Chain A
């Protein structure tokens, strides 16, 4: 969205570098986690997910790590590109019908 980036923590990286975006989640009982990407003027889009019985999952250029001990998720983006500039946020599935969203991190990619 147009103003969704205001007040968000911002990560600035050089094009080609790797990016790491972090998220602390709320509930030990959450069993499933998702990373979303939100580009300006668009709705959030699914990037990658991970279940609580896993600690790592890899996609194309993205990797999600889950540390249940400290309730922490991270999203790693390899070889960051200008098209990766967006707001990223995590979501946890707290129950069969409830997703809780984090507040997000804005990623800026410097050319």
Chain B
């Protein structure tokens, strides 16, 4: 089954404790992207990657890092999480045309206390 898999689904952590949210896709997609979704603000892009070793900032990159060492994986790293990063996070992937848009993962609910 074609899918984007992200883990964990739920995570509660404390301020300053480094964490990684993993994302993997099995569709051989070139593009991958991370979004956060907050009430009233919709989906906002954090980082995106157009191919292996090619990443760029989205609209809200502060406090986040990403890497794209392999085509299928695109982890999101929070080096020092803060409470304002409490959010619902989605990983997504697409082919290079963006036809049919992005295929999204099921989401990671992150709470930073």
In the complex, residue of chain A having the shortest beta-carbon distance to the beta carbon of B91? A43
A interface, how many residues as a size bin?
Answer: 20 to 34
A-B contact count (CB 8 A): 67
Contact stretch, chosen from A52-60, A61-69, A76-84, A97-105:
A97-105
Question: Do the beta carbons of B100 and A4 come within 8 Å of each other?
Answer: no
B31 cross-chain contacts in A, Cβ below 8 A: 97
Q: Which residues of A89-107 have CB atoms within 8 Å of chain B's CB atoms?
A: 89, 91, 93, 96-97, 99, 101-104
Is B88 at the interface (CB under 8 A from chain A)? Answer: yes
Enumerate the 10 nearest inter-chain pairs by beta-carbon distance, A residue then B residue, closest first: A43-B104, A7-B40, A6-B39, A103-B42, A1-B88, A34-B101, A101-B43, A44-B104, A7-B39, A3-B39
Query: Can you list 19 A-B contacts with CB-CB less than 8 angstroms, sorted by A residue number?
Result: A1-B88, A1-B109, A2-B109, A7-B40, A8-B40, A32-B98, A41-B106, A41-B107, A43-B4, A43-B90, A46-B100, A46-B101, A49-B101, A96-B98, A97-B50, A97-B96, A99-B98, A99-B101, A103-B40
